[in-house]
Chain A
């Protein structure tokens, strides 16, 4: 038999892309999804894509979800790659979560507190039973409205406790330095808390959840309390170079979690509560709480705690939390490796042959 080599790749790739497009659209008799539908009706998926894509833009996140057929990790990757092409106009002063327009705010450490427990929209109080009414379009009852709005300024719970001196204060370091940005400077170790928090905020929700869970199951030693969870809208301010004064350019939805953990009284200090912090784009309490637990675990050195568990190991956590990195590298195994494989195969054959010779 004789063989003629042909160029294989190009046309097959183009046809594969065509097949993706056809499958994404599905049955043409079914109406196509709009970006507004995804943004409004799949908002938690949009939130996750923005958080892991590290880019706040609900429309583009919805577009990414549409393009990725609902695959959140793939959608986050699309946002990340798009980010690379944009110029950074300005940095904004840090978001002030005390000014949040509260949608939800709860505390597990106090029964009642200034501003109250605001349940907001949450699946926590639902029964996880499929709602077959949603199989059909139909009018939905509007939510109730109270006569008076929630307080415009609600104090953060740990700040209430801090006022009594029981809580480790959250103060900026000397000079309130601008934070690092790990998308511009590669990771170095030991990493600052700023770098760790940024890494966690864009980390994979599943990875963070599993690690946070491990700290509760014995691979960690802190007993945490959910000091406060809050979600809502925070204004974004910038100082444009052409204006020279602060302007408000819109708002972002974020979820903040303050975990209050173990009492410390090392080296003659008064015993007090320590804290872990979580802040993420969109409404995602699962992720914000996981982040806060891991933030606290990673602060082991600060409190002279032995670093024994995965969640306390900063190289382990920071290098493996990013799903765009991990997904790419796990899946790169799909790329051809026949040069390497051939090298291994060849060695095995040679070693086998030598053994056979030796035994004869």
Chain B
């Protein structure tokens, strides 16, 4: 896999990790892959989350988070699902989507699932960031926005 493919795959896996189960079920319903073999059936485990003292200093173990993962072979492709939380079915659907996205029906699935999900997720993030922005106390708004305070 080259760098570009890796990045594309990392991007869609991030979108899939946040995608609702129903959206993945619906998007997959029209997709035909080869026979599916579960290399690693959905399993729940943990990942240790770390912090850094002061934000940038010594690493420390903050605590664990639950993670669900699954790996399948669908036709020629290997698909993986990794999602934060306790979601066996979502991890499986992710793996199936990941496999399909690498195969012949990839472009169609991209258009039907990833692109709209990515847009929805961006909109939700933007909405939260605008709600936070509405609570911002600005003392020198005009000046900073005008760029007049540069030294």
Measured CB to CB, the residues of A under 8 A from B are: 50-51, 54-60, 83, 86-95, 97-98, 101-104, 111-112, 116-121, 143-150, 152, 156, 158-159, 169-173, 176-183, 192-195, 197-198, 201-202, 232, 235-236, 238, 240, 242-243, 245-252, 254, 256, 258, 275, 277, 279, 281, 295
A249 touches B17 (CB 8 A): yes
Contact of A150 among B10, B44, B49, B129 (CB under 8 A): B129
Q: A171 and B57 in contact (CB under 8 A), knowing A240-B82, A249-B67, A279-B51?
A: yes
A179 touches B59 (CB 8 A): yes
Q: A149 and B129 in contact (CB under 8 A), knowing A240-B80, A249-B83?
A: yes
* A72 to B: closest C-beta gap in Å: 16
B63 touches A55 (CB 8 A): yes
Q: A119 and B136 in contact (CB under 8 A), knowing A94-B50, A101-B129?
A: yes
Contact of B54 among A51, A182, A258 (CB under 8 A): A258
Q: In B69-112, which residues have CB < 8 Å from any A CB? A: 69, 71, 78, 80, 82-86
A143 touches B131 (CB 8 A): yes
Query: Bound state CA distance, A147 and B134, in angstroms?
Result: 8
Q: Which chain A residues border B137 with CB–CB below 8 Å?
A: 112, 116-119
Query: Bound state CA distance, A159 and B54, in angstroms?
Result: 9
Contact of A236 among B53, B84, B139 (CB under 8 A): B84
**Top 6 nearest A-B pairs by Cβ distance?**
A170-B54, A250-B84, A149-B129, A170-B57, A146-B133, A56-B65
Pull 22 A–B residue pairs with CB atoms less than 8 Å apart, ordered by A: A51-B63, A57-B85, A88-B48, A88-B64, A90-B67, A95-B49, A119-B137, A147-B130, A156-B56, A182-B61, A183-B61, A197-B62, A198-B61, A238-B82, A245-B6, A249-B17, A250-B85, A258-B54, A277-B54, A277-B55, A281-B62, A295-B53
Q: Is B4 an interface residue (CB 8 A)?
A: no
Query: Bound state CA distance, A36 and B89, in angstroms?
Result: 18
B48 touches A92 (CB 8 A): yes
A180 touches B47 (CB 8 A): no
Q: Which chain B residues border A148 with CB–CB below 8 Å?
A: 130, 133
Q: In B12-63, which residues have CB < 8 Å from any A CB? A: 13-14, 17-18, 43-63
B134 touches A145 (CB 8 A): yes
Q: Which chain B residues border A57 with CB–CB below 8 Å?
A: 65-66, 85-86
Q: Is B151 an interface residue (CB 8 A)?
A: no
Q: Which chain B residues border A192 with CB–CB below 8 Å?
A: 58
User: Which single residue of chain A is at the shortest CB-CB distance from B39?
Assistant: A242
B61 touches A179 (CB 8 A): yes
* B109 to A: closest C-beta gap in Å: 18
* B146 to A: closest C-beta gap in Å: 15
B132 touches A104 (CB 8 A): yes
Query: Bound state CA distance, A118 and B53, in angstroms?
Result: 23
A170 touches B48 (CB 8 A): no
Contact of A258 among B55, B62, B128, B139 (CB under 8 A): B55
B51 touches A95 (CB 8 A): yes
Extra contacts, 11 of them, besides A56-B63, A117-B137, A177-B59 (Cβ < 8 A), are A89-B45, A94-B51, A119-B135, A119-B137, A156-B55, A169-B57, A194-B58, A197-B60, A240-B69, A277-B54, A277-B55
B60 touches A179 (CB 8 A): yes
* A238 to B: closest C-beta gap in Å: 6
Q: Which chain B residues border A202 with CB–CB below 8 Å?
A: 63
User: Which single residue of chain A is at the shortest CB-CB distance from B43?
Assistant: A87
Contact of A149 among B66, B69, B130, B138 (CB under 8 A): B130
Query: Bound state CA distance, A250 and B47, in angstroms?
Result: 12
A250 touches B45 (CB 8 A): no
Q: A56 and B66 in contact (CB under 8 A), knowing A118-B132, A247-B13, A248-B17?
A: yes
Q: Which chain A residues border B13 with CB–CB below 8 Å?
A: 247-249
User: Which single residue of chain A is at the shortest CB-CB distance from B54?
Assistant: A170
Q: Which chain B residues border A181 with CB–CB below 8 Å?
A: 48, 61
Contact of A243 among B52, B80, B130 (CB under 8 A): B80
Q: A101 and B53 in contact (CB under 8 A), knowing A240-B82, A249-B82?
A: no
